[in-house]
């Protein structure tokens, strides 16, 4: 299970702005071979009300987002999960704190990739492993960081 990578796409309403959904779909097509090259099993998820499986880019339908859905997903996956979150990070500060607490409590590793020019890089860096957030242009580096990360989450 420690070779599994959970790629979570933020499909909230704010992702409809500034062409972000096109960026997500483009990155989705690049991610499967990129992550699989490291010998990892890849799972694609969409974060709407809850976090649900995605079969591919065509399943990327925007909807209202519920922050508790991501928190529950991390908790349900248990100890030591690996997550690549592609998001604009446009949520309230308390959500950032809750996500960070859940990642820490489950000793998981979450790497955040900022999508869109309006992305809240502060929120994304706060929840990301080592407080390092990546731009979508740096997706290769983000994947390498996640694939090679030890499971110690920085405070």
Q: What is the pLDDT of residue 61?
A: 65
pLDDT digits over 12-68, tens only? 888 888 889 899 988 988 887 777 676 668 888 988 877 888 876 666 766 666 678
Q: Is residue 107 part of a domain?
A: yes
Please give the model's pTM, rounded to 2 decimal places. 0.87
Q: Is residue 155 part of a domain?
A: no
DSSP string, the chain: -TTEEEEEEE-SGGGGGGGHHHHHHHHHHHHHHHHHTTT-EEEEEEESSSEEE-SSGGG-------HHHHHHHHHHH-TT-EEEEEE---S-HHHHHHHHHHHHHTT-EEEEEE-STT--HHHHHHHSGGG--EEGGGHHHHHHHHHH--SPPP-
Position 155 confidence tier, pLDDT thresholds 50, 70, 90: very low
Q: Is residue 126 part of a domain?
A: yes
Q: Is residue 93 part of a domain?
A: yes
The CATH number of residue 123's host domain is 3.40.50.410
Q: Is residue 153 part of a domain?
A: no
Q: Is residue 18 part of a domain?
A: yes
Position 1 confidence tier, pLDDT thresholds 50, 70, 90: very low
Number of domains in the chain: 1
Q: What is the pLDDT of residue 153?
A: 40
Q: What is the pLDDT of residue 41?
A: 80
Instruction: Give the structural domain span for 83.
Output: 4-148
Q: Is residue 80 part of a domain?
A: yes
Q: Is residue 105 part of a domain?
A: yes
């Amino acid at each position: 299970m420690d070779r599994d990578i959970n790629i979570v796409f933020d499909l909230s309403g704010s992702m409809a702005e500034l062409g972000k959904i096109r960026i997500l779909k483009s990155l989705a097509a690049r991610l499967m071979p990129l992550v699989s090259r490291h010998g990892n099993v890849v799972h694609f998820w969409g974060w709407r009300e809850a976090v649900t499986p995605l079969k591919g880019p065509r399943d990327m339908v925007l909807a209202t987002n519920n922050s508790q859905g991501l928190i529950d997903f991390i908790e349900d996956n248990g100890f030591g999960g690996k997550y690549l979150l592609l998001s604009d990070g446009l949520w309230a500060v308390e959500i950032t704190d809750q996500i960070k607490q859940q990642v820490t409590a489950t000793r998981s590793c979450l790497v955040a990739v900022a999508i869109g020019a309006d992305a809240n890089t502060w929120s994304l860096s706060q929840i990301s492993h080592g407080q390092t957030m990546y731009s979508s242009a740096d997706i290769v580096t983000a994947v390498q960081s996640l694939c090679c990360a030890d499971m110690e989450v920085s405070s």
